Amino acid sequence: MQARFDATVAAEQRIEPRDWMPEAYRKTLVRQISQHAHSEIIGMQPEGNWITRAPSLKRKSILMAKVQDEAGHGLYLYSAAETLGVDRQDLTEQLLAGKAKYSSIFNYPTPTWADIGAIGWLVDGAAICNQVPLCRASYGPYARAMVRVCKEESFHQRQGFEILYELAHGTEAQKKMAQEAVDRWYWPSLMMFGPPDADSPNSAQSMQWKIKRFSNDELRQRFVDMCVPQVEVLGLTLPDPELSWNPDRGHYDFGEIDWTEFHQVLKGNGPCNAQRIAHRRKAHQDGDWVREAAVAHAAKKAARTKQAVAA
């Protein structure tokens, strides 16, 4: 069975839920997919904060659609995780108990409207760099979920870029607001790619299994290289004095990331960790009646079908 699994992965074919897989492969997928799902769900909060205050009806409807898309991504991902034999309720309970990881990026605040532009451009931009290769992940349900997610994230990124572009070409105060938001989100976006390769315990095995196709540092570099020409079009700057083109490498060199900050955020000490979990718990409690109603409705429907069959 192991040989067949190895041959399937080597041949770039997909592992499906019905196939035998090593227990460690299954566990790695549950870990990554569930963390990813939690990130999408918690990731609704920083932008959700601006739905009632979006500066126009058009901006409000776009933002509502975007935040709903993130909820949808969470649902596809929980479904993909369930194909591996875990229960969505258990995953949710781990998140609510503060035991599950989700992306560090969503523990930062959104004090101005420009932060919504910066999230779209930088956070969705980083998400795309990371997730496009996941469309080729060896596990079928995860790879297929990623295809739709990436299409939606591309649209999200463009709407964020457009918000920033308008602000950057508006009044002096608007341009300043856009620059400050980019300054706030740039470094945390680089941290989204995970620890440097040398400190990434999961990368080597995940790449061997073709879950991950590129290392954390490779994708981070790709993102920096993408941001530099785009920030020039925006007429803004990236907050890194060490950023410079390296002709030998064919890439931009960039400054040192503050990994102490990253580890603090992972430990729960970021600016919004406590608020994010408290809000998620309340939203879950507020949704109790919906889940109860759905279960009651399903039971009634099943009873009616049973009666009809008996008759």
Could you give the CA distance from residue 37 to residue 57 in angstroms, rounded to a whole number?
29
- Selected range binding ligand FAQ among 3-11, 29-37, 55-63, 82-90, rule: CB under 6 A: 29-37
Out of 29, 123, 137, 238, the only residue in the binding site for ligand FAQ (CB under 6 A) is 123
Indicate the helix (H) or strand (E) that contains 158: helix 140-168
Out of 113, 194, 209, 214, the only residue in the binding site for ligand FAQ (CB under 6 A) is 194
In the numeric block, the tokens 């605040």 are attached to: 109
Site for ligand FAQ in 145-164 (CB under 6 A): none
Q: Which two tokens stand for residue 252?
A: 């931009």
Q: Is residue 107 a contact residue for ligand FAQ (CB under 6 A)?
A: no
Q: Is residue 202 a contact residue for ligand FAQ (CB under 6 A)?
A: yes
| Nearer Cβ to ligand FAQ (8/130) | 130
- Within the chain, where are the H helices? 2-10, 23-42, 44-48, 57-82, 88-96, 114-118, 124-131, 140-168, 172-191, 203-208, 216-234, 259-264, 273-286, 288-310
Could you give the CA distance from residue 280 to residue 219 in angstroms, rounded to a whole number?
30
If DSSP codes are grouped into helix, strand and coil, which group holds residue 243?
coil
CB of 106 to ligand FAQ, least distance (A): 7
- Selected range binding ligand FAQ among 30-38, 135-143, 247-255, 282-290, rule: CB under 6 A: 30-38
- Selected range binding ligand FAQ among 38-46, 57-65, 166-174, 243-251, rule: CB under 6 A: 38-46
CB distance 174 to 167 below 8 Å: yes
Residues lying near ligand FAQ in the complex (CB under 6 A) are found at 31-32, 35-36, 39-40, 43, 70, 101, 103-104, 119, 123-124, 127, 130-131, 191-195, 200-203, 206, 212, 216, 266
